[in-house]
Amino acid sequence: MDAIHSGWFSEIQNDLWPGQSFSLKVKKILHEERSKFQKIKILDTETYGRCLILDGIIQRTTKDEFAYQEMIAFLPLCCHPNPKKVLIVGGGDGGVSREVVKHPLVEEVYQVEIDDRVVELSKKYLPTMACGFNDKKLNLVVGSIVCSQGGSFWLDYNYIKKQMLNCSIHFPRVAYAVTSVPSYPCGQIGFVIGGLDKSSDFKDPVIKFSSSEIDAMNLKYYSSKIHSSAFTLPRWIEKNFYENEKPK
Amino acid sequence: MDAIHSGWFSEIQNDLWPGQSFSLKVKKILHEERSKFQKIKILDTETYGRCLILDGIIQRTTKDEFAYQEMIAFLPLCCHPNPKKVLIVGGGDGGVSREVVKHPLVEEVYQVEIDDRVVELSKKYLPTMACGFNDKKLNLVVGSIVCSQGGSFWLDYNYIKKQMLNCSIHFPRVAYAVTSVPSYPCGQIGFVIGGLDKSSDFKDPVIKFSSSEIDAMNLKYYSSKIHSSAFTLPRWIEKNFYENEKPK
């Protein structure tokens, strides 16, 4: 179970999702290279469109990338009353910045990405994502930075709990939200969100966009209702993540 | 991409999820047979526990079956003010009846399953699910019946729309809800729910169990909050499914 066999790409085995594997049927290998930091592969797939793969792990497919990009952008943006300046760490395909610049209150975006090859290849092969780099609000910096993101609660919720604990060292308010992305392991990805105001309730967006505003920003996944439900976790996870908090 | 190769089971290719495939690492093949109706396989897997496979498609794994069984049982039960009598069509592993009999208002359950071999093999190999057959509220009937269930909106939302349309011939109120199950295609499964009262709002459970009641029933996934969020759909699906309805 590794890379491409008989026209199928299978994700490499990984300690984060042991004993399971997701595969996509490949139409064409568009590009393969080893950059200074990682192996980059761009595929055209039968049913998930173009697919960006880093070190054997699916990062984005054009079929479902909006579910990830919209949610990682608008969940924190809509928890903040006036998100004028935004820092994005990673996101070299450009899709997160594409979403962030849509928010009418955002004036300036700084994005730091470690690998300029991901940026360049995304501009060439994934233009519907890399269009995010064209906005005049955006300042892109290529540098070395560590970044982490929350996985699926189905895989290792102790790892997510640890991330939340680390986050809580700097942010008194920490929460975990989740979105459905079929090409990610277990069909979902999570987000750990931290805030400085202990009393804030991330589940209730500070800014609630109307349906027509959502449509004007061409958001396909995000809405204020989806925002709230993203923080609603299955009972066993809710107990596990928040059991030490006082009940509201 | 079919059945077991080098210690991995891969789901067979299927028109419902073209160009993608989910695989599980196999520890041991516990049982294989061809019944009057289908091919039945029961595996012990590395990380998803025991796994029931019918005609090459994963039906249940002991790791994540509760997310499916609890939600398909409690979503409709908690939309009903007094669910005394319940009819279950299918569900031969026994897990749905295991959940349904937990509801304190349920007095009698009739279950109709086409294949007695699934029932017998579940009793032998999947006792944590088949325990549902032991409850005195349950009357099990083996017969021939057609059954359908909603898939993931990531795969074919027109198919789900058609199911909802069919359902609306008999039920004036129809809605679609979704739950996260990593071993199902795209990591989720949907439920089409129909009701006779046009004014009912399935999203708001008629019966809201408290946290201690939820825990007493040993529900790991379901809660009243998860009930509501299960009906909260991504913006593009919400528009697609409900665009012809009058806005509330």
What single string gives the DSSP state of each residue in B5-64? ETTEEEPPP-TTSTTEEEEEEEEEEEEEEE-SS-EEEEEEESSS-EEEEETTEEEEETTT
φ, ψ for residue B234, nearest 5 deg: -55, 150
pLDDT band at A244 (very low <50, low <70, confident <90, very high): low
Q: What is the pLDDT of residues A79-117, one digit of tens each?
A: 778 888 888 888 899 999 999 998 889 999 988 888 899
Distance from CA of B19 to the nearest CA of A (A): 5
Chain B residue nearest residue A232, CA to CA: B226
Distance from CA of B27 to the nearest CA of A (A): 10
Chain A residue nearest residue B25, CA to CA: A19
Chain A residues lying within 8 Å of B214, measured CB to CB: 235
Q: What is the pLDDT of residues B131-144, one digit of tens each?
A: 989 988 888 877 67
Q: Are the beta carbons of A184 and A224 closer than 8 angstroms?
A: no
Residues counted in chain A: 248
Residue A177 pairs with which residues in a beta bridge?
Answer: A191
Three-class secondary structure of residue B194 per DSSP: strand
Residue type, A14: N
Q: Which residues contact B144 (CB under 8 A, 6 or more apart)?
A: B114
- Both tokens assigned to A141: 């910096």
Q: Are the beta carbons of B185 and B156 closer than 8 angstroms?
A: no
- Both tokens assigned to B223: 């809660």
In whole angstroms, give the CA distance from residue B39 to residue B16: 19
Of A20, A188, A229, the CB nearest to B23: A20
Q: What is the pLDDT of residues B113-168, one digit of tens each?
A: 888 999 999 999 999 999 989 988 888 877 673 434 567 788 878 888 888 888 88
pLDDT band at A1 (very low <50, low <70, confident <90, very high): very low
DSSP 8-class letter at B159: H
Q: Are the beta carbons of A48 and B76 closer than 8 angstroms?
A: no
In whole angstroms, give the CA distance from residue A138 to residue A136: 5
pLDDT of residue A178: 86
In whole angstroms, give the CA distance from residue A237 to residue A118: 35
For chain B, domains (ranges, CATH) are 4-62 (2.30.140.10), 65-242 (3.40.50.150)
Distance from CA of B114 to the nearest CA of A (A): 30
Q: What is the pLDDT of residues A144-171, one digit of tens each?
A: 734 345 678 888 788 888 888 888 887 8
pLDDT of residue A248: 38
- The distance in angstroms from the start CA to the end CA of chain A is 46
Q: Which residues contact A245 (CB under 8 A, 6 or more apart)?
A: none
Interface contact flag, A22 B20, Cβ < 8 Å: yes
Across the A/B interface, how many CB contacts are shorter than 8 Å? 137
| Res B16 pLDDT > 80 | no
Q: Are the beta carbons of B205 and B228 closer than 8 angstroms?
A: yes
In whole angstroms, give the CA distance from residue A237 to residue B143: 38
Of B45, B214, B234, the CB nearest to A19: B45
Q: Which residues contact B5 (CB under 8 A, 6 or more apart)?
A: none
Residues counted in chain B: 248
Arithmetic mean of pLDDT, B10-20: 79
- Both tokens assigned to A90: 């990673």
Interface contact flag, B18 A25, Cβ < 8 Å: yes
Three-class secondary structure of residue B115 per DSSP: coil
Q: Are the beta carbons of B203 and B228 closer than 8 angstroms?
A: yes
Distances (CA, A) of B217 to A171, B83, B191, B212: 36, 16, 22, 9
pLDDT of residue B75: 80
pLDDT of residue B159: 84
- Both tokens assigned to A222: 């995000």
In whole angstroms, give the CA distance from residue A199 to residue A203: 12
State the Cα torsion B131-B59-B67-A233 to the nearest 10°: 160
DSSP 8-class letter at A35: -
Q: For all residues of chain B together, what is the average pLDDT?
A: 85
pLDDT of residue A130: 93
Chain B residues lying within 8 Å of A48, measured CB to CB: 19-20
Arithmetic mean of pLDDT, B207-222: 88
